[in-house]
Amino acid sequence: MIERYTRPEMAKVWSDETKFKTWLEVELAVLGALAHFRYIPRNIPAIVKHRARFRIARVKKIEDKVQHDVIAFLTAVSENVGPMARYLHFGMTSSDMLDTALAIQIQKASDLLVGDLNNLLKALARQAKRHKFTLMVGRSHGVHAEPTTFGLKMALFYAEFKRNLERLERATENVSYGKVSGAVGTFAHLDPKVETYVCKKLGLKPAPISTQIIQRDRHAEYLTTLAIIGSSLEKLATEIRGLQRTEILEAEEPFGKGQKGSSAMPHKKNPIICERICGLARILRSNAMTGLENVTLWHERDISHSSAERVVFPDSTILLDYVLDKMTKVIEDLAVYPKTMRLNLEKSKGMVFSQMCLLKLVKKGFTREEAYKLVQDSSRKTWNEGVPFKDALLADHSVRKYLSEREINSIFDYKRHLRNVGKIFKRLGL
């Protein structure tokens, strides 16, 4: 991933230094298991661990010649270990080490993403509680619907990102498997107890069955989960972008002192962070498609998945880490304009209470169709002539036959309409 969208901690997870250290960690864990189960002398792991080291430049130089990264790595380490290096990679195939190490790196990346999600959840919770009763209009199809609150809007996203946190934890659990089962997964050269020992030491679970690789449906689920989180972020960013439109301007993302919005128009304050998040979410979804295509491989294994995974796992986790951090800052410093919300709510002149009127008429004995027509006729006067909806109802003789002025006035009660908001917050634990 380009530096512009990369945060240091996540970059470190996918650095060559971390990758090779993790490879060595796996190889040493296998050595420990081999000694434990007496495949090799008991003193070998300590000797190798003391001497095992590598230089990234040396690994890459060897790889240029042998065209095999694992062999290059093992050769570079062996140069420092000496004769006892013959026990490294004993009974293993490349994917025993690669897939097990990848699971460890994904766990580390997920730890950072879980922290990011928790930070965003805290920010959303704060805004939800702060604006629990901040009145605004709800929109369906972009058109005024019924009154709601900005707090409910934030609470909705809070609930969605709680689900995303659960999804990520499940997906991480499902990809946290290692394997030391050999070239086609038959344990031809090592007993399954070696694999169990190694995985326990590394904080993984042994794959119940594998071929030469751990099956990629696990990895596809993980990448798809990252894409779902990205789509939720895009949804939240799109909501803020919509609310920031000049015609609406009920909320807007932070705009720093000295920041400039346009090279041509000095007045501009553009939602550039939210737009960036929307764009980067597309990459997360495309990477998920790569993960899905990696599920299908030839027979017990080919390496068509390998090259793609070198890109999509670092890029997806790095990008998600970046956009979660950006969105958290947007929510923390979001500018919210309650007065504009109230003004916008009043622009539809009370039509947001049309359903309340419909239900009152139904309670008086009208069929739904009859009541709907009466209310719609009054709303047309509001749409076409600008007559306040309450006045249109009061002037409609058909309506007044059944609803008194007091009953009509009672329809236009925001507090009554939103009386159950607190119960929704209670459900969410906010």
Cα–Cα dist 176/204, whole Å: 5
Tokens of 52: 């095992």
The pair of structure tokens assigned to 149 is: 């609150």
Instruction: Based on the residue annotation, tell me whether 50 is a catalytic residue of this protein.
Output: no
Distance in angstroms (rounded) separating the CA atoms of residues 45 and 247: 69
CA distance 12 to 108: 10
Q: Which residues pair with 147 in a beta bridge?
A: 137
Report DSSP letters for 380-410, one per residue.
Answer: HHHHHH---HHHHHHH-HHHHTT--HHHHHH
Cα 331 from Cα 120, distance rounded (Å): 8
Q: Within 13 Å of residue 132, how many CA atoms lie on the same side as its CB?
A: 14
Among 138, 144, 172, 169, CA closest to 156: 138
404 catalytic per annotation: no
Q: How far apart are CA 225 and CA 221, in angstroms?
A: 6
- Residues 141, 267, 299, 397: which is the catalytic one? 141
15, 50, 262, 304: the active-site residue: 262
- Residue (of 426, 257, 226, 235) closest to 333 by Cα position: 257
Helices 56-66/16-36 angle, 10° precision: 80
Which residue in the block uniquely carries the two structure tokens 């920031």? 244
One DSSP character per residue, 56-94 reads HHHHHHHHHHH--HHHHHHHHHHHHH-GGGGGTTTT--H
DSSP state of 211: S
Active site (catalytic) residues? 141, 262
